[in-house]
A and B are shown apart, each in its own frame.
Chain A
Amino acid sequence: MLDLLRFGSDGWGDEIARGAGMTLAVAILAYLIGILAGSGVAAAKLSGPAPVRWLAAAYTTIVRGVPALLVIWLLFFGGSGLINWVAGLFGYGGRVDLSAFAVGVAAVGIVSAAYAAEVIRGAVKAVPKGQLEAARALGMGRFLILRRILVPQALRYALPGLGNVWQMTLKDTTLVSVVSLAELMRQAYLGMQSTRQPFLFYVTAAILYMIMTTCSEALFRALSRRAERGVRRTVTN
């Protein structure tokens, strides 16, 4: 039974491996979008003008209150329409079609950003105000304060939460299989259909996901340790 997972033309090993690669590609891209957009949304929530703050609050509330799968379907059915409408505004008359990859990365990224925004907002608020006041008193500019004082400290508070967001983002990529993107779940499904061995293929997929989540958890733990290297321990033994 296991030789079904051989690499090459007579086995599913290479298809599964390519699927796992696609899963990682979608997860990493969506996570980067999540961190970047999430930082922007957090900044908007913390210090934007009132209408921007409301928009940001609406975004995080809505996206965190509906299933990720619904966001994927919405983009799948409505994304091209939206883009064509925007393209039309700029005088482009042709049709733009979104690939399953673009839909998947965008949808998972939109969800990831909403959760990342909450984590980042909490972390920024956890940095003591006195630090920022002291930096301003020393005559540091806004950008310098951001780079030297705020980001390094907020990052330490944010890391555990951002680790959770990554785990969630990685698991959310499985949902993209519904729009037939050839990631791990989709490849396992195709393998199951042609061989009638569902258990084998889904256990293989489960083990690969387990490896990905466990390795990335260890990575985030190492990052946390590194970010905390200058922090005095309260309990000594």
Chain B
Amino acid sequence: MNIDMILTSLPGLLSGAWVTVQLVVLSLSLGFVLALFVAFGRLSSNRAVSGVTGVYVFLFRSTPLLVQIFLIYYGLGQFAAIRESFLWPVLREAYWCAILALTLNTAAYTGEIMRGGIQAIPFGQIEAARALGMSRLMLYRRIVLPQALRTILPAYGNEMIQMVQATSLASAITLIELTGAARTIASRSFQPVEMFVIAGAIYLTMTFAITQGVRWAEKRTAAG
């Protein structure tokens, strides 16, 4: 292993890792908020609302993420209406297309996880809260969401790890995140394997951080 070459390539890999972190953090936080709407939409007693969110979840979970990324990045630009709209400056950028695709994708999966968490709450608790005269908002804020979030922690931890890996697909639409950076440097150098090993180690560090974070959160929120 050539230490010199690894040292010269490290800044490139680290700046790729920084893009990866941005993609993960932005799409996970946006996706989390959207997932709340998806979960409540799926549970809505309004047929139209639960139907539309159901279709959304089905579409995004039954197709590969790469297709979704390409459809948004290449596909949308085909329509003049979109090219002339105010959204175009955003949809033209690979960066925002990747974030949009990742957000929509994780919201579909997370929404289903949340739905399960909400449905797992014993109905007696909701009845009790209503009997105490709690408003809907307070019922969700005090009773439903805190417990649902605790139940979904392990599953959501897995979803976060999946998202770290999913961001690597952004390299397919010209974004130089960690995988893209490793590939670019590898194709120029005579030691391609080392680049992927280092990139892999950085990904493992991120995965490890998430696992530890989830374990800490589980311990903190443990019942009783």
Contact = CB atoms under 8 A, between A and B. Distances in A.
- A, B in one complex: yes
Interface of A: 61-62, 65-70, 73-74, 77-78, 81, 170-171, 174-175, 177-178, 185, 188-189, 192, 196-199, 202-203, 205-206, 209-210, 213-214
Given A70-B168, A199-B78, A171 B65 contact: yes
A69 B169 CA distance: 7
B50 interface: no
Nearest to B161: A65
B65 A77 contact: no
Contact of A70 (B78, B166, B199): B199
B196 A202 contact: no
Contact of A198 (B77, B172, B179): B77
14 contacts: A66-B207, A67-B167, A73-B196, A77-B186, A77-B193, A78-B192, A171-B65, A174-B64, A175-B169, A177-B66, A198-B78, A203-B71, A206-B68, A209-B62
Interface residues of B, number: 40
B186 to A, nearest CB: 6
User: Interface SS of chain B: helix, strand, loop or mixed?
Assistant: helix
A202 B183 contact: no
B74 A174 contact: no
Interface string B155-190: 000000100111111011000000100110011000
B204 A62 contact: yes
B146 interface: no
A177 B172 CA distance: 10
Contacts of B171: 69
